[in-house]
């Protein structure tokens, strides 16, 4: 009987060990920076080449590709849904309020997809992964930090204009609403501050800062306000698409965004909300990153990895689109 019990113990122990091993082993649904190493080792160098060409031709494109990734991930996860054109079956995200006449870079993604398909000799790399890698390569091209992008996302077969309207933080948001939006995606207050630092790159349209310009004069640096009024008239509709840089060095990844906030020179209401000059948590983070640009670079890279891992489709979910603008059956 003792022998029988011993055998049973050994069998149960082996079963338990096997079960633990299965749970501990990486699942097919996990993202991996080396996902394409064997399937197509030319994929990432090809993405980098096309991004570098696009950013060299128009430095603003780097910020646009970074923003495209952010707007993709904040709507049902990083699934490439922002790239889909409208169809008779759904109204996509391109015409949502945060995106229409604003989000750009779709043509660059198209060029990358064509180049990657040629390099891989087939449809191997998802559009969602292309957006994620293009954002990283854009940051690097403009002097920012590199980081390992987790890969293996698949592409959504649908998109939602209403989800985009409800999920992407607006430039008019208060600090509380910004924090709530990020928290709904599992991102912390520090992630909010450091990812907002992506506004060290690029420009904003007049329509996004007009209200701050004319109604928040006490919270806006006077000389900056004067320069902004030259490109953004008070009347709604006049000059809506005129651009102003989000910080003094819009084509260089640096800490100028945070030093601007310290001087009340945040162009967007949502940006200046991070620093009110008090003792709040975001005030302390803004001061810290303004004084420690290397820490900003490190923490930005880490936060980008967290954001890039939001709600991916993996395994048998979704598809790998042949054309990033439409699902494969259309």
In sequence order, what DSSP letters do the residues of 220-249 get, joined into one string? S-HHHHHHHHTTS-SSTTTTTT-EEESSS-
CA 126/CA 101 separation, integer angstroms = 25
Residue 16 banded pLDDT, cuts 50, 70, 90: very low
Least confident of 19-33, 148-162, 183-197: 19-33
User: Encoding tokens for residue 18?
Assistant: 């096997």
On whether 77 is known to bind a ligand per the annotation, the reply is yes
Please tell me the predicted confidence (pLDDT) of residue 330. Answer: 54
Residue 278 banded pLDDT, cuts 50, 70, 90: confident
CA 319/CA 299 separation, integer angstroms = 32
Mean pLDDT of the chain: 91
Polymer length in residues for the chain: 330
Closest CA to 258 of 227, 289, 235: 289
**pLDDT higher than threshold 90 for residue 26:** no
Structural fold of domain 175-307: Peroxidase; domain 2 (1.10.420)
On whether 245 is known to bind a ligand per the annotation, the reply is no
> What CATH class is the domain 42-168?
mainly alpha
Q: Report which listed range, 4-8, 113-117, 233-237, 326-330, is most confident.
A: 113-117
Please tell me the predicted confidence (pLDDT) of residue 29. Answer: 54
CA 51/CA 273 separation, integer angstroms = 32
Mapped onto helix, strand or coil, the DSSP state of residue 251 is: strand
Catalytic residues: 71
pTM comes to 0.89
Please tell me the predicted confidence (pLDDT) of residue 237. Answer: 74
Please tell me the predicted confidence (pLDDT) of residue 132. Answer: 98
Q: What is the pLDDT of residues 115-153, one digit of tens each?
A: 999 999 999 999 999 999 999 999 999 999 999 999 999
**pLDDT higher than threshold 80 for residue 223:** yes
User: Which residues make up the CATH 1.10.520.10 domain(s) of the chain?
Assistant: 42-168
CA 167/CA 196 separation, integer angstroms = 16
**pLDDT higher than threshold 90 for residue 320:** yes
CA 280/CA 258 separation, integer angstroms = 15
Residue indicated by tokens 């160098």: 45
On whether 240 is known to bind a ligand per the annotation, the reply is no
Q: Where are the alpha helices (DSSP H) in 126-197?
A: 127-141, 161-167, 175-184, 189-196
On whether 200 is known to bind a ligand per the annotation, the reply is yes
On whether 254 is known to bind a ligand per the annotation, the reply is yes
Q: Across residues 222-234, what is the average pLDDT?
A: 96
Please tell me the predicted confidence (pLDDT) of residue 22. Answer: 32
Q: What residues contact residue 219 under an 8 Å CB cut-off, 6+ apart?
A: 212, 264, 272
User: Which residues make up the CATH 1.10.420.10 domain(s) of the chain?
Assistant: 175-307
**pLDDT higher than threshold 50 for residue 2:** no
On whether 282 is known to bind a ligand per the annotation, the reply is no
**pLDDT higher than threshold 70 for residue 10:** no
Please tell me the predicted confidence (pLDDT) of residue 304. Answer: 98
Enclosing H/E stretch for 204? strand 203-205
**pLDDT higher than threshold 90 for residue 285:** yes
User: Encoding tokens for residue 222?
Assistant: 């006077």
CA 326/CA 330 separation, integer angstroms = 7
CA 241/CA 232 separation, integer angstroms = 9
User: Encoding tokens for residue 108?
Assistant: 């660059």
**pLDDT higher than threshold 60 for residue 271:** yes
Question: Strand pairing partners for 251?
Answer: 201
On whether 28 is known to bind a ligand per the annotation, the reply is no
Residue indicated by tokens 């069998």: 11
Q: Identify the burial level of 238 via C-beta atoms within 10 angstroms of its C-beta, where 0-12 means exposed, 13-18 middle and 19 or more buried.
A: exposed
Q: Across residues 279-303, what is the average pLDDT?
A: 97
On whether 199 is known to bind a ligand per the annotation, the reply is yes
Please tell me the predicted confidence (pLDDT) of residue 9. Answer: 32
């Amino acid at each position: 009987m003792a022998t029988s019990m011993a055998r049973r113990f050994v069998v149960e122990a082996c079963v338990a060990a096997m079960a633990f091993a299965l749970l501990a082993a990486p699942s097919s649904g996990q993202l991996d920076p080396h996902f394409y190493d064997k399937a197509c080792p030319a994929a990432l160098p090809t993405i980098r080449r096309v991004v570098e060409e696009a950013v060299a031709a128009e430095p603003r494109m780097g910020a646009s590709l970074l923003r495209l990734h952010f707007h993709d991930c904040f709507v049902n996860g990083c699934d490439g849904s922002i790239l889909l054109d409208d169809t008779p079956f759904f109204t996509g995200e391109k015409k949502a309020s945060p995106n229409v006449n604003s989000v750009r870079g779709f043509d660059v993604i198209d060029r990358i997809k064509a180049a990657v398909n040629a390099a891989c000799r087939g449809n191997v790399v998802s559009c969602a992964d292309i957006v994620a890698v293009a954002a990283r390569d854009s940051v690097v091209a403009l002097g920012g930090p590199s980081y390992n992008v987790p890969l293996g996302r698949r592409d959504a077969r649908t998109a939602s204009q209403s989800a985009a309207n409800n999920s992407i933080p607006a430039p008019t948001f208060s600090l509380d609403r910004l924090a709530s939006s990020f928290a709904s995606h599992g991102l912390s207050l520090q992630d909010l501050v450091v990812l907002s630092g992506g506004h060290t790159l690029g420009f904003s349209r007049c329509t996004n800062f007009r209200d701050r310009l004319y109604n928040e004069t006490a919270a806006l640096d006077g000389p900056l306000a004067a320069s902004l009024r030259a490109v953004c008239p008070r009347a709604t509709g006049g000059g809506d698409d005129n651009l102003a840089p989000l910080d003094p060095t819009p084509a260089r990844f640096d800490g100028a965004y945070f030093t601007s906030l310290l001087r009340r020179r945040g162009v967007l209401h949502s940006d200046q909300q991070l620093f009110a000059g008090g003792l709040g948590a975001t005030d302390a983070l803004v001061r810290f990153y303004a004084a420690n640009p290397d820490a900003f670079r490190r923490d930005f890279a880490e936060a980008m990895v967290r954001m890039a891992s939001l709600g991916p489709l993996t395994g048998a979910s979704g598809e790998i689109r042949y054309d990033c603008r439409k699902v494969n059956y259309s």
